[in-house]
A and B are shown apart, each in its own frame.
Chain A
């Protein structure tokens, strides 16, 4: 779920006609001082993080003067809370609070509609209050066809005991809140507290919107970099992975790091799952053997080999991992040789030195296991493939054994070499990469097996050498499915004339940066 910061959420509320305190975001103490000066009244300083209970963490401070604001801001910026280092704070006018309410919009999976909750008591600890005073809380299931109508909002607020102008103002705010949430595809929206000021005005004093990951594409104006559920900002490697996912709609690819500081004694594994349920089960199997996971990764939904390849390269950009564990449900409907080819290409290019246990049970698993066994054989790290009758627990135990037998080698992240195609090579673009054939070498090729290997059958022999049987335009638009079969065949059985470049923007720089930090 793509979370917005409080200051971003409040900007959207303001645009939706909801009253919010005057204020701005500051990235430095000096900026905070300037904002406080412009406001010209006592201010509140609030750290911008995706956590509740900021007051208890000391993340909310008050200042009467601009100088005080600047001084306190200096202490807030750089503060560490949870996974966050505070890099921005909201500076806004301090309200004269007479009462605090609560409003929240959530998705109800049982009724299959948004539900609006309003509470006539709000602020810190609202869940506990909800239990003690159920009469102060009312909920309303919203019909997405009509939206939240004003009379519905008035009845909702009225049922919590509020009346008169305060009830009217609050109800109006709630109808606007739903409109903002709906127009921005927010799957949750929370205002805690809604403040009634000394002069009886109702303000949204805090606000957190969470935008539906699947609808982020409708909202380029929100500038959401990584539309995934995180409780911290995305890491560099996660951003690189997300760009891969964004550019390739075939199948899904999800990657997040569970630690980015692996110590010399930590027994950490790079994890590559397939499908949510099977991944969870497989992770439990690895954790049960006392390993930690460097990352979680899921490639599923019938992804092409090229996407699995990129996932593997990203997983192998984590220095210090001692093994590579891939495992899904064990009985996948997708044809598993695609994943096998993607991984083999990555392992060979990395010259993998740590053991890899790959559980690719499901359709065509025999072919997948053969590919891993045959082409992973020459590597310093042992690569083994397993199928649907091998349990995740047995595979995790096997990985542990291989790690021990191999002497607990730690994975070293090497720089990515820049690619130079052979002079005058025959080349064409694929959906996400480039395929080149050094046809000088094809002259001595006995089998021309690449033609046969090609799954979508888009290669033909032209004067005894491979060439496209379709137009380059068709290949670029996806007729070349990036199955990698031609390249793998050619590399292992013939003259290694075919090279498929699948760039991962930002990864070379990331790896170079890693070495600098380590070096």
Chain B
């Protein structure tokens, strides 16, 4: 198995007629993603690379049947409406690609998702990919590259950096290790599915034998993964790299931030917490494949 998406998942693309929407539709279709419809209000009746376009997600569902996932390529200022539309139409997984979505818009999306039991990846995400099955978003850029760079296997990858999602997975492939699913959780302060939720999914996935996590300074994601491990809810081996060692810390945190986060967020704090619960924290990206070899031996 893989997590979140496979070749059978029925996918709609919101914003399919835009610059990015069109380019990524081609990538997804060529790679094997089951794209059943596109949506651009006012453009119903057109088609993009053979994918029929509808005026709304609801219409796409009426005409094409159930939809599992919506991938959103809409200008950031309009993302909230598009996401709420997909949630209202009953879609249970959203991939919100655009960067610069206002934070209160993200919070409103999170609230609506909570009410219906929907989940979302992003915003500001390159997407996710289950090698040999399907890609959502823009990982790989072109299908042929995606097929060369990523191979099916037993490692789950979760990253807060889009480029590093691809880079780590490529370096694993080059060293002979395939991946179950690779996920860019998004680069923003508040995202939908974050590292701990992805780790819980990897825990339940029988294809995944170990996981790799690219963390960064800021937010509480990596500490919450440590909490999860301490609580016995993530039991598979985990390799982690934390970026931002050189970045100066401290200035950005307000008093309130310090009280809420209780010292969370710093490079040293994250590394110490993760090592404490037995995570293999590496100092360089290049060390990840060797560490994987050691673990999977």
Q: Which A residues contact B (CB, under 8 angstroms)?
A: 1, 52, 102, 104-110, 112-115, 117, 119, 126-127, 130, 137, 139, 143-145, 182, 185, 187-188, 190, 192, 208, 210, 212-215, 217-218, 229, 231, 249, 252, 274-278, 280-281, 283-284, 287, 300-302, 328-335, 361-363, 388-389, 391, 393
Contact = CB atoms under 8 A, between A and B. Distances in A.
Interface string B95-136: 000011111101110110000000000000010000000000
B31 to A, nearest CB: 12
Contacts of B50: none
Contact of B142 (A139, A213, A363): A363
Contacts of A145: 108, 111
26 contacts: A52-B254, A52-B255, A106-B254, A106-B256, A107-B189, A109-B220, A110-B194, A112-B111, A113-B107, A126-B255, A143-B111, A145-B108, A187-B103, A190-B256, A215-B104, A217-B77, A231-B252, A280-B244, A284-B245, A284-B246, A287-B246, A332-B163, A333-B138, A333-B162, A335-B141, A362-B166
Contacts of A137: 259
Contacts of B270: none
B103 A185 contact: yes
The 7 closest A-B CB pairs, nearest first, are: A277-B161, A329-B163, A104-B256, A275-B163, A333-B141, A215-B102, A277-B164
A410 B32 CA distance: 51
Given A112-B107, A391-B286, A127 B255 contact: yes
B194 A329 contact: no
B152 interface: no
Which secondary structure dominates where chain A touches chain B?
A: mixed
A277 B159 contact: yes
A333 B221 contact: no
Contacts of A331: 149, 163, 166-167, 169-170
Given A109-B190, A109-B219, A114 B107 contact: yes
A1 B141 CA distance: 30
A110 B169 CA distance: 26
Contacts of A335: 141
A217 B102 CA distance: 10
Given A188-B254, A208-B254, A212-B104, 5 more contacts: A113-B110, A277-B160, A328-B163, A333-B166, A362-B141
Contact of B104 (A106, A144, A277, A283): A144
B216 A139 contact: no
Contacts of B163: 274-275, 277-278, 300, 328-333, 362
B220 to A, nearest CB: 5
B75 A330 contact: no
Contact of A278 (B140, B161, B170, B246): B161
A276 B100 CA distance: 14
A1 B253 CA distance: 12
A112 B109 CA distance: 10
Count chain B CB atoms within 10 A of each CB in A102, A139, A192, A331 and give the residue with the most: A331
- In this complex, the member of A114, A190, A287, A333 whose beta carbon has the largest number of chain B beta carbons within 10 angstroms is A333
B247 interface: yes
B141 A214 contact: no
B214 interface: yes
Contacts of B174: 389
Contacts of B285: 281
Contacts of B255: 52, 102, 104, 126-127, 190, 192
A391 B258 CA distance: 36
Contact of B247 (A108, A127, A280, A388): A280
A330 B170 CA distance: 10
A185 B260 contact: no
B189 A329 contact: no
A332 B126 CA distance: 10
Contacts of A363: 140-142, 145
Most chain B C-beta atoms within 10 Å of own C-beta, residue among A109, A187, A215, A388: A109
B140 A333 contact: yes
B183 to A, nearest CB: 14
B260 A117 contact: yes
Given A333-B138, A335-B141, A252 B99 contact: yes
A107 B245 CA distance: 23
Contact of B246 (A187, A280, A328): A280
B20 A249 contact: no
Contacts of B191: 109
Contacts of B76: 214
A104 B254 contact: yes
B187 interface: yes
A485 B285 CA distance: 34
Interface in B193-226: 194, 214, 216, 219-221, 224
Interface centre among B100, B126, B174 (most CB of A within 10 A): B100
A214 B100 contact: yes
A187 B224 CA distance: 22
A157 B191 CA distance: 30
Given A109-B190, A114-B107, A185-B103, A139 B260 contact: yes
Contacts of B111: 112-113, 143-145
Given A276-B161, A280-B247, A363-B141, A329 B166 contact: yes
A332 B247 contact: no
B253 to A, nearest CB: 10
Contact of A333 (B107, B139, B243, B244): B139
Nearest to A82: B251
Among A119, A127, A277, A361, the most chain B Cβ lie within 10 Å of the Cβ of A277
A187 B260 CA distance: 14
A281 B243 contact: yes
Nearest to B23: A302
Nearest to B77: A217
Contacts of B149: 331
Nearest to A112: B110
Contacts of B142: 363
Contact of A112 (B102, B190, B214, B221): B190
A287 B246 CA distance: 8
A301 B107 CA distance: 23
Contacts of B161: 275-278, 280, 329
B257 interface: yes
A299 to B, nearest CB: 12
A144 B80 CA distance: 14
B283 to A, nearest CB: 10
B167 A388 contact: yes
A185 B189 contact: no
Interface in B231-267: 243-247, 251-252, 254-260
Contacts of B260: 106, 108, 115, 117, 139
A218 B190 CA distance: 20
A280 B214 CA distance: 12
* Most chain A CB neighbours (cut-off 10 Å) among B20, B102, B191, B245: B102
A214 to B, nearest CB: 4
Q: Which of B20, B191, B243 has the most CB of A within 10 A?
A: B243
B166 A276 contact: no
B46 to A, nearest CB: 18
Looking at B221, B252, B285, the one whose CB has the most chain A CB atoms below 10 A away is B285
A329 B164 contact: yes
A447 to B, nearest CB: 28
A287 B244 CA distance: 12
